Amino acid sequence: MGKFLVRRLLNYVVLIFLATSFAYLLAATNLYPRGYFEQMQPPPTPEAVNAQLDALNLNDQTPLAQRYVTWLTGVVQGDFGQTIQGRDVTDQVWLKAGVTLRLITVATILGSFLGIAIGAYAAVRQYRRFDKAATVASFVVLAIPTVVIALSVQIGATAINGALGFQLFLFSGEYSAGFRGEWWELLLNRLHHAILPTFVLAVALFAAFARYQRNMMLDVLGADFVRTAMAKGLTRRKALLKHALRTALIPTITYFTFTFGLMVAGATFTEKIYGWHGMGAWLIDSISQQDVHVVAAVSCFMAVTIMIASFLSDILYAWLDPRVRV
């Protein structure tokens, strides 16, 4: 078991390294930082532009291999280089990663738990009213892109706020600018801002999970071991929870790893639309500003989160499925 996890972990480190390097090379060859400086007002001299680019290790006249090695030496020492405005990327990564992680973690836990619970219950009540309602709800939500959900929720919130005459829902920013107060007031203010974006992300995840868990649960419900569990005298509730649900969770755990990547991308859109200064919003801004180092850093962050999710699901898998543990 320990060996299995260590081997997995090593493989992940290699994958993260390759993914980040690939993102850097792609960004370095396709983005055009020179253009960012050339369009400044007043236009700087070519020598000044070159000096700037050299200082940032972004000069497209330096061979790509040399730029890559310089960048990589920095990354190995925990330094992701500088943004195109000359600020330290690594410092900002910690700030922005916190914002994104708060959003993703809460939404993932909320969405997957709700989805699994509702999906499993819908399977037990197959073809009853609850099942039908859950199926329709998840089908409709699955048909709407996260971007559209985020926008629609925002529009709805505006309408409700307008009708009520005060700000029941907040949908711009992570906290009120210039807000001062006790620590619990600050916390409340942040929570208030977090409600809608978290809801948007959780809803999208919920639909996928409810659908998947229902199918997996249905596969298991008719299985012999569930019947045996009930035959040996377990209550229906216990047989369903301890035997059926536990088995049906195994494929869902694998599914979780795959959806997490989509979740991170979905968080990008949600952050941008709700004005959160997280990794996703940073990525979109940096691409329009031709900021190579930020793109590489955000890619690394995304790869790491996906790998953490996948590592967690490996552990959960081993916990749920005794066959893996030997």
CA 158 to each of CA 1, 149, 153, 154, 186: distance values in angstroms, whole numbers, following the listed order: 52, 14, 9, 6, 23
Given 18, 64, 109, 308, the residue binding other proteins (CB under 8 A): 18
Q: Residue 82 forms beta bridges with which residues?
A: 88
Which residue number, 48 or 164, has a Cβ lying nearer to other proteins? 164
Please provide the DSSP assignment of 156-215 as one string.
Answer: HHHHHHHHHSS-SS--SSSS-TT----HHHHHHHHHHHHHHHHHHHHHHHHHHHHHHHHH
As given in the structure block, the two tokens for residue 129 are: 């009213």
To which residue do tokens 């929570």 refer?
191
Q: Environment class of residue 126 by beta-carbon count within 10 Å: exposed (0-12), middle (13-18) or buried (19+)?
A: middle
The piece of 44-52, 68-76, 84-92, 281-289 that touches other proteins (CB under 8 A) is 281-289
The piece of 14-22, 39-47, 65-73, 193-201 that touches other proteins (CB under 8 A) is 14-22
Which residue number, 158 or 235, has a Cβ lying nearer to other proteins? 158
The dihedrals phi and psi of 279, each to the nearest 5 degrees, come to -60, -40
SS3 1: coil
Residue type, 275: G
Q: How far is the CB of 226 from other proteins (least distance, A)?
A: 13
As given in the structure block, the two tokens for residue 86 are: 């000359």
Given 96, 202, 298, 317, the residue binding other proteins (CB under 8 A): 298
**Is 215 among the residues that bind other proteins (CB under 8 A)?**
yes
**Is 155 among the residues that bind other proteins (CB under 8 A)?**
yes
**Is 264 among the residues that bind other proteins (CB under 8 A)?**
yes
Site pattern 80..119 for other proteins (x: CB under 8 A): ----------------------------------------
**Is 158 among the residues that bind other proteins (CB under 8 A)?**
yes
The piece of 33-41, 45-53, 76-84, 259-267 that touches other proteins (CB under 8 A) is 259-267
∠ CA 251-114-320, nearest 5°, is 35
The piece of 48-56, 187-195, 292-300, 313-321 that touches other proteins (CB under 8 A) is 292-300
Instruction: Give the count of residues interacting with other proteins (CB under 8 A).
Output: 46
C-alpha–C-alpha distance, residues 130 and 123, integer Å: 9
Q: Which residues bind other proteins (CB under 8 A)?
A: 11, 15-16, 18-19, 22-23, 26-27, 30-31, 139-140, 142-148, 151-152, 155, 158, 215, 218-219, 221-222, 258, 261, 264-265, 268-269, 272, 283-284, 287, 295, 298-299, 302-303, 306-307
